[in-house]
Amino acid sequence: MNISLKLKNFSQIRQNKWLLGLLILIPIIGIGYLAYRQFVIGQQEQAKRNVQTALVERGNLPITVSTNGTVQPFVLVNVSPKTAGVLKQLLVKEGDSVQKGQVLAYMDASNLQGQLRQAQGNLSAAEANLQRAIAGNRPQDIAQAAAQQMNDKAALRSAKSTFQQNQYLYTNGALAKRDLITSRAARVQAAAQVRKSQQALDLQKVGSRPEDIEQDRALVVAAQGAVQTIQTDLNDTVIRAAFSGIIARKFADPGSFVTPTTAGSAVTSATSSSILSLASTNQIVAQVAEANIAQIHMGLVGTIQADAYPGKTFTGQVTEIAPQSDVVLNVTTFEVKTSVSDPQHLLRSGMNVNVAFKAGELKNVLLVPTAAIVQQTNAQGVFVAKDKGDPVFVRIAVGTTMNDKTQVRSGLTGNEHVLLSFPPGTRQVSGGSSSILPSVRTH
């Protein structure tokens, strides 16, 4: 009996211990559940409440093509004389604005001045000879020739008379034959002299021959050419601006010996043989990607921002599109040149700029924030929020993306709310993109 009592007491003790352990465990489980609900489920619900969404709606999407570029002058030339010589005077300095035709410098022209005077004297002599040939002989010369002819005719009559007398005397035997022959020769010589003087008189009356006049005229033309050549050389000693622009660099000072150089050579490669470098108004030279070049056309307006002037914008228009592409590191681009409105002359050659071309606008299209677009395996889309339940992944076909907005071609009807941030339980999806995507069902 004592043994039964002891076993009964032992069983009651074990039962009491189990009840006591259960009483201790229940509060611990309750506290753990409360902690779990507060720290896990509560955080999940709070995260769901903090998920950001955006409304899908229709609107207009401006199309902008952005690219980097540099400021460069339209034209940059090295100014040099046409012939080598000594720089006599320089009238401008670096940074000066000049107008087309403005005198920039003078070359030494002392040797050309003497050559010009000599050439002008030769021209005057040639012109005088031509005028004399055209005017013909003077009346005094004609009168002198006429008088000479009269004298020659008188001598001919005298020679004829003498010959007749000698012929009579010879016939009667009173004169030797030798004397007769002498008188006959004198008559022939007098007749020849009359013909000669007559021709001289005729020439005096007619004047110069046409061939002589043409020859004298040709000499005048040659003399005029010589004067013009030297005068051109003199004019070339006056160095003028070929176009309006800015003096970008000075290479020589008065007294320097300068020579002709290539007008289009780079400023950095020019030597002291040039006088100075002249730059025209600036332009923007940018490289546009092959994928965007179809949206660029002549006259397209662009907004220009320079790194040197934060917050300030300039405007310009496309003036030239390169017909040949440039390929650098397997990237194909096209050079596009743009004018720039810079009345204050703030932009300087070599500055870096960003150009945004306004290439058009898509009218009345579905738009979603670009940040809402995610990539699942072999699928691109957005997560559409639901009033009840988890968000649904919807595949979409996207169009043009501009900044923070993307065109939706298909997949959405409008007025949906898409997720911009995602609740906990995200996972990394392989393939397509590296976006972090929520583990929710797709539609």
pLDDT over 80 (residue 146) = no
pLDDT at 1 over 50: no
Is 417 within the bounds of a domain?
yes
What is the average pLDDT across 89-99?
Answer: 88
- The CA distance from 394 to 407, in Å, is 15
pLDDT score for 35 = 57
- Averaged over 213-218, what is the pLDDT? 82
- Residues 208 and 313 placed together within one structural domain of the fold: no
Q: Which residues form the domain of 33?
A: 1-44
Distance (Å) of CA 252 to CA 78, 80, 81, 255, 268: 12, 10, 12, 8, 14
Contact (CB, 8 A) for 435 and 374: yes
| CA gap 222, 214 in Å, rounded | 12
Q: How far apart, in Å, are the Cα atoms of 390 and each of 86, 319, 376, 381, 394?
A: 88, 54, 17, 16, 13
Residue 317 has pLDDT above 50, yes or no: yes
Find the angle CA(57)-CA(61)-CA(65) to the nearest 5 degrees.
150
103, 241: one domain: yes
Which tokens go with 33?
């559940």
Q: What is the pLDDT of residue 322?
A: 93
| CATH code of the domain in which 253 resides | 2.40.50.100
Of 232-241, 265-274, 379-388, give the lowest mean pLDDT range.
265-274
pLDDT of residue 181: 86
Question: Where is the domain boundary, 362, 379, 408?
Answer: 362
Mean per-residue pLDDT for 413-432?
Answer: 63
Q: Provide long-range contacts, Cβ within 8 A and 24+ apart, for 149-152.
A: 149/194, 149/197, 149/198, 149/200, 149/201, 151/197, 152/190, 152/193, 152/194, 152/196, 152/197
pLDDT at position 251 over 60: yes
65, pLDDT greater than 90:
no
- Tens of pLDDT, residue by residue over 32-58, are 666 555 554 545 555 455 668 888 888
Whole-structure pTM value: 0.52
Regarding whether 145 and 93 lie in a shared domain, the answer is no
Tell whether 324 and 411 lie within a shared domain: no
| Amino acid at site 61 | L
Domain count, the chain: 5
105: nearest Cα among 255, 246, 245, 269: 255
Q: What is the pLDDT at residue 4?
A: 54
The predicted pLDDT at position 135 comes to 66
Give the pLDDT confidence score for residue 430 in this predicted structure. Answer: 36
Instruction: Give the confidence band of 284 by pLDDT, cuts at 50, 70, 90.
Output: very high
Whether 298 is in a domain gets the answer: yes
Do 143 and 220 belong together in one domain? yes
Please tell me whether residues 228 and 122 are part of one structural domain. Answer: yes
Q: Where does 370-404 show beta strands of DSSP type E? A: 374-376, 379-384, 392-395, 397-402
For residue 7, the model assigns a pLDDT of 47
**Domain match, 120 and 210 both:** yes
Average pLDDT, the chain: 79
Q: What is the pLDDT of residue 156?
A: 81
CATH number, domain with residue 183 = 1.20.120
Of 15-19, 140-144, 298-302, the one with minimum mean pLDDT is 15-19
pLDDT at 69: 93
* One domain for residues 225 and 242: no
Assigned domain for 406 exists? yes
Residue 344 sits in a domain whose CATH number is 2.40.30.170
User: Which of 127-136, 197-206, 414-423 shows the highest mean pLDDT?
Assistant: 414-423
Where among 324, 344, 362 does a domain terminate?
A: 362
pLDDT at 214: 83
The helix (H) or strand (E) run that includes residue 105 is: strand 103-107
* Pick from 35-44, 130-139, 204-213, 224-233: least confident: 35-44
Residue 161: enclosing H or E segment and its boundaries? helix 139-171
The H-or-E segment that residue 200 falls in is helix 177-206
- Strand partners of residue 284: 71, 338
In this prediction, residue 354 carries a pLDDT of: 94
**Residues 176 and 250 occupy one common structural domain:** no
- β-pairing verdict for 436-438 and 426-428: antiparallel
Q: For every residue of 293-362, which 3-state class applies, written as one string?
A: HHHCCCCCEEEEEECCCCCCEEEEEEEEECCCCEEECCEEEEEEEEECCCCCCCCCCCCEEEEEEEEEEE
Mean pLDDT of 362-376: 86
Read off the pLDDT band of 312 (50, 70, 90): very high
Mean pLDDT (whole number) for 351-374: 88
Question: What is the DSSP-derived secondary structure letter of residue 67?
Answer: E
Q: Which of 232, 265, 298 is the last residue of a domain?
A: 232
Average pLDDT over residues 249-260: 86
Q: Judge whether residue 190 has pLDDT over 70.
A: yes
Task: Check whether 147 has a pLDDT greater than 50.
Answer: yes
Any domain includes 443: no
Q: Is residue 12 part of a domain?
A: yes
- pLDDT over threshold 90, residue 320: yes
Whether residue 419 is predicted with pLDDT greater than 60 in this model: the reply is: yes
Rounded CA-CA distance 94/9 in Å is 116
Is residue 372 scored above 50 in pLDDT?
Answer: yes
246/206 same-domain check:
no
pLDDT at 436: 34
Highest mean pLDDT among 3-7, 231-235, 314-318: 314-318
Query: Which two three-digit tokens encode residue 437?
Result: 């995507």
Tokens (6 digits) for 351 = 């500055």
If asked whether residues 211 and 179 sit together in one domain, one would say yes
Across residues 57-82, what is the average pLDDT? 87
The tens digit of pLDDT for each residue in 152-182 reads 888 888 888 888 888 888 888 788 888 878 8
For residue 70, the model assigns a pLDDT of 93
Let me know whether 389 and 357 are in one domain.
no
